[in-house]
Each structure stands twice: as structure tokens, then as C-alpha cells.
Chain A
Amino acid sequence: MNKIEKNLVDFYLAVAQTAGCLLYSEPSFRAVKGTDGGWPDLVFAPDYSLPPAQLLPLVSRWIGIHGAPRNLVIDSAYLNRNHLSLLRDNGFFPVDSWQMMQLSLRKTIVFPRSAAKGQFRELEHPADFEQFCGIANRELLGNMPVSPQVVQRLSTAERFRFWGVFVGEELIAALLVFAVADVAGLYLVAARKEFQLRGFGSLLLQQTLKALKSSAIRSVVLHASRKAVPLYEKFGFANFGNLYIYRKTE
């Protein structure tokens, strides 16, 4: 497991513990489930030493018994085109892919220019967290929304930090930082649709990286959707493989 996947696994474990979600620790995988079908909803940390023909039916049966979570995250190197019929037979469809990306803060980062003007600050008020949920749910999470209660609980734990770019009192772009030792993971990175491609994402990333660089953090990891990869590449993030998200159908 690389540094990027390790941060993801630690992240969902910490989310479950902090936000009071259900956490299942099965021998061959883990799963986390939010309340009322909300975020998070994921089977993760599969045992890659098991052959897919053994793991997939196991997960599939388990989901059948426990209901949600129906989303399974797996390294693309583990499941490939050779496993198509196995995936189908077990009711799994790929619904998304993330590129695993990493940036070292030990070297100098050349920040791309951003014409956007806004105030970068930590989210702290209930109204900030409501705005955060609005953006994350509209732009990222769709059918499994994150609730302001979950976000507010996370914000009280030391390892989670919410940062955003505001124009006046309005939150335009935001993210969640999860740090373990000297590695910080960026999660739920989103900008309001009407402000996308106007530099707010760059401004948010630039200020976040500056803040992390001045702390004890030495590398930053994230999982980028295909759409977001070019932005991260501009900052020097490098690709370390892909994760696929599979959804178990009824």
C-alpha cells in the first residue's frame, strides 16, 4: 500500500471514529457507513493478497447481507479487464476513477498564477460548514450527501482541518485536510459550479499548500477525478496509479 492509499484508509477509519459512523472491520476489508445513506459509504482497504475470484464474491455477499455501503474502492492494478465477467457476475459496475497523486513539499513549488481574489481562511462557524456541505453535495457527492453534523464533528478533531476561499461571507471553494504524521491528504475538494474555471481552485490549493509547507507536513496526497487532474499537475503533483470505484447493484 503506498502513502496515498494509506492516507485514504486512515482517513476513513478516522472519519468513522470521529463522526460516529458505522465501521466494519472484516478480515478481508473494511467498510464505513454514514447515517441515512449519507457520506461516507465505502468498502475499502481490501486484502490484495486474496485473488479477485475470492475477494469479490466475499464483498458482494457481505453487501447483500448488510445493505449499504455499496461502493467499493480498489486499486486499478488489482482488477483489470481480465476480471470483467467476475465483476459483472458479482454485480459490480465501475462508476468512477480517481488518480492517486502526490506532491513533495521538500522542494520549491512554483505556484501557477490565479486571477481570483478571495479570502483564504479556516472554516469555523456553523454557517461555514453548511455552505461547505452545500458545495460538496452539489459538486461531488450527489446521492450520498454529507451532513453538516458529520462535518462539524470532524472539525472538532485535531487531524481534520477545513479551509476555504470566501468572497465576503460566501464560500466559493473548499477542502478538507487530513494529516497523519508528516503526510496531509486533501479530501472533498470542490468549488461552486458558477465559479469554476475562474481561478478559485488554484487560489485555494496555493494557499493550502503554503499553509501546509509552513507546518510539519512534508508531502501532500490526494485522489483526483479526471476533470481535476490538470489543475493538480500544474502544481507539480505526480500520478501514482489509479483507484476505481465500483458500485454494487441490486
Chain B
Amino acid sequence: MAHEEIFSRVVKVFHQVFGATHAIGYSTSSADLAGWDSLNHVILIQELEKEFGLHFDLFDVLELTSVEGIVNFIASKTAR
């Protein structure tokens, strides 16, 4: 799956979880997106799993704190 396609689907999930008014870019991270706290992180991961039909490793979940990281991670999973 191309990075661009993954990115646009990731943005869609972000808008579902955090609301459509947030501007989401590759550099968006948990440090600068209001509301990306531990509770919403769990919801976000669950929604991403549903969207991409993937099962994230529990310990990878902790590393996925930026949009870029998430896109790269999904790209590596779907390339296999």
C-alpha cells in the first residue's frame, strides 16, 4: 500500500477520534495534538486496527506517538 494512501486513511481515523477540525500532518505528534492522551491513544490504536485490519503488537503501541511513525509502521506491516 502506498504511503499516500495509508496517510489519508490514518488522517481519516484521526478525524474520527479527535474531531475533524484538527489539522493532521506527518509531523503531528502526541506532544502537540490536544487530546492525544493515554485514553485516546488506546481508542486511536483500536480504530487503526479496524481500519487497516491489523493487529498491533502491544509494545509497539507505546512507540506510535506521531503520525509519521504510525504511517511508517503500517507501511512496514502491510508490505509483508
Q: A residues engaging B (CB < 8 A)?
A: 71, 81, 84, 87-88, 92-97, 142-143, 227, 245, 247, 249
Select B57's contact among A84, A92, A95, A227, beta carbons within 8 Å: A84
Residues of A within 8 A of B39 (CB): 95, 142-143, 247
Chain B interface size band reads 10 to 19
Contact in complex: A95, B58 (CB < 8 Å): no
- Bound Cα distance A71, B38 (Å): 10
Contact in complex: B38, A96 (CB < 8 Å): yes
Residues of B within 8 A of A81 (CB): 57, 59
Q: Decide: A95 near B59, CB < 8 A? Known: A142-B37, A143-B37.
A: no
Contact in complex: A249, B42 (CB < 8 Å): yes
- Kindly identify, within residues 31 to 64 of chain B, every residue whose CB is under 8 Å from any CB belonging to chain A: 31, 35, 37-42, 45-46, 57-59, 61-62
Select A88's contact among B35, B41, B58, B62, beta carbons within 8 Å: B58
Q: B residues engaging A (CB < 8 A)?
A: 31, 35, 37-42, 45-46, 57-59, 61-62
Q: Which applies to chain B's interface (DSSP): helix, strand, loop or mixed?
A: helix
- Bound Cα distance A247, B31 (Å): 19
- Bound Cα distance A81, B62 (Å): 13
- Bound Cα distance A71, B42 (Å): 12
Among residues of A, the one whose C-beta sits closest to the C-beta of B41 is A95
Q: Decide: A94 near B45, CB < 8 A? Known: A143-B38, A143-B39, A245-B38.
A: no
- Bound Cα distance A117, B61 (Å): 38
Among residues of A, the one whose C-beta sits closest to the C-beta of B37 is A142
Residues of A within 8 A of B59 (CB): 81, 84, 94
Closest 5 CB pairs of A and B: A142-B37, A95-B38, A143-B39, A143-B37, A93-B42
Distance in Å from the Cβ of A18 to the closest Cβ of chain B?
A: 25
- Bound Cα distance A94, B41 (Å): 10
- Bound Cα distance A247, B38 (Å): 8
| 15 sampled A-B residue pairs with Cβ under 8 A | A71-B38, A81-B57, A84-B57, A92-B58, A93-B42, A93-B61, A94-B58, A95-B41, A95-B61, A95-B62, A97-B62, A142-B37, A142-B38, A245-B38, A247-B42
